Amino acid sequence: MKDTFRKPIKLGVTGGIGSGKTTICRIFTVMGIPVFSADIVASLVMESDQELRENLNQLAGKDLYQGGALDRQELAKIIFSDREMLLRVNSLVHPVVFSHYLEWAGRQETPYSVMEAAILFESGASELVDMILTVVTPVQERIGRIVKGKKLTEEQVMERIKNQIDDESRIKRSDFVVYNSENDMVIPVILEIHEKLVKLYNSTF
């Protein structure tokens, strides 16, 4: 946890692919806590931010927006076959997302707000938040969930896992860890974290 922070507290929620970040964030939403999804906003700004569109085209060396919208399959082909390219695309997209996030977080009036980000640490977004919650689920269970949802094949999930840091590294840098295997009771754990954050907010100001 950072030594100093301004209110409201900014909580980052992260975890490996398929760990259940979005599911956990829904519980925060139900409790009235605003949630900013870095992944959704990244996806939106790649469509709406003209300067970013131009920078992405320049990097790819071709028009990625031939049909008007971003050709995501083409982008995925480029970034998942070339790690250097992935880093360069990220370095174009992340600053745009961060500026939207900071502007959004500054407008929130609840004791804390949440940013959900799959690559919170890898992107540097961890520097923008005051506290961090990591969602942990065993890799095999995560693969099973994603494959079952027919989002990706097992090989594609493994490829993405390789591009992310592991749970041990995430846990070391987190203030809260939520275990989200099928039989874990997550709601009481989230409620406890919620109460802690509200208390911290009330005691700090």
Does the protein bind ligand ATP through residue 21 (CB under 6 A)? yes
Piece of 13-21, 47-55, 73-81, 123-131 that binds ligand ATP (CB under 6 A): 13-21
Piece of 15-23, 47-55, 80-88, 89-97 that binds ligand ATP (CB under 6 A): 15-23
Does the protein bind ligand ATP through residue 180 (CB under 6 A)? yes
SS (H, E, C) 131-189: EEEEEECCHHHHHHHHHHCCCCCHHHHHHHHHCCCCHHHHHHCCCEEEECCCCCCHHHH
Does the protein bind ligand ATP through residue 12 (CB under 6 A)? no
Residue 40 to residue 27: CA distance in whole angstroms: 18
Structure-block tokens of residue 25: 């964030």
- Residues 145, 189, 190, 197: which binds ligand ATP (CB under 6 A)? 145
Does the protein bind ligand ATP through residue 164 (CB under 6 A)? no
Q: Which is nearer to ligand ATP, 12 or 18 (CB)?
A: 18
User: Interface residues for ligand ATP in 47-86 (CB under 6 A)?
Assistant: none
Taking the CA atoms of residue 155, residue 156, residue 157 and residue 162 in that order, the dihedral angle to the nearest 10 degrees is 90
Does the protein bind ligand ATP through residue 19 (CB under 6 A)? yes
For the beta carbon of residue 111, count every other beta carbon within 10 angstroms: 18
Does the protein bind ligand ATP through residue 118 (CB under 6 A)? yes
Does the protein bind ligand ATP through residue 20 (CB under 6 A)? yes
- Residues 1, 2, 23, 166: which binds ligand ATP (CB under 6 A)? 23
Q: Which residue reads 């971003």 in tokens?
A: 70
Does the protein bind ligand ATP through residue 38 (CB under 6 A)? no
Q: Identify the three-state secondary structure at position 4.
A: coil
Instruction: Report the length, in residues, of the chain.
Output: 205
Residue 14 to residue 35: CA distance in whole angstroms: 12
Q: Which is nearer to ligand ATP, 10 or 21 (CB)?
A: 21
Residue 159 to residue 49: CA distance in whole angstroms: 28
Does the protein bind ligand ATP through residue 17 (CB under 6 A)? yes
For ligand ATP, the binding residues (CB under 6 A) are 15, 17-23, 118, 145, 149, 180, 182
